[in-house]
Amino acid sequence: MRWFHSIFYKTVRPAVGKCGSESSSSQPLATHYKRWYQLQLSEKQQFITRFVHNYKVQYPRSKTNVSLRELSHGMDQFQDSPSVFGIFYEDIWRRALEQGGPRTGSRFDHPSFLKLLVERREPPD
């Protein structure tokens, strides 16, 4: 039994200790992206345009595509960004926090949705 104790603490235990170390590279992926409320209007509109296109590519037969297109219609003309897209953005942002974890079954699980998030230019707080 003593040999097990010796092997465990020489091989397994040091690895466990290293897992909890904090470094800038171990920050969650989501901290590298802005939140919806931090986006400028132009960034929100760009996200919406790219989101609608990506959703259509990922789910070409979905009836949701018509609704998304209609919701995004006229946002340049009215200098607006429909708030419902902020909900989608935040869902994708949260998914970035969980990256590497189990898939949730969300329609936004596809990696192409993570590419739609707007990166921070300055380091996170």
pLDDT along the chain (125 residues), means of 10: 47 39 50 93 97 97 96 91 95 84 77 94 66
Contacts of 94 (CB under 8 A, 6+ apart): 30
User: Closest Cα to residue 108, out of 82, 83, 87?
Assistant: 87
6 within some domain: no
User: Closest Cα to residue 113, out of 23, 16, 44, 47?
Assistant: 47
Q: What is the pTM of this model?
A: 0.71
14 within some domain: no
The domain total for the chain is 1
DSSP 12: I
Measured CA to CA, the distance from residue 11 to residue 14 in angstroms comes to: 6
Measured CA to CA, the distance from residue 97 to residue 78 in angstroms comes to: 33
64 within some domain: yes
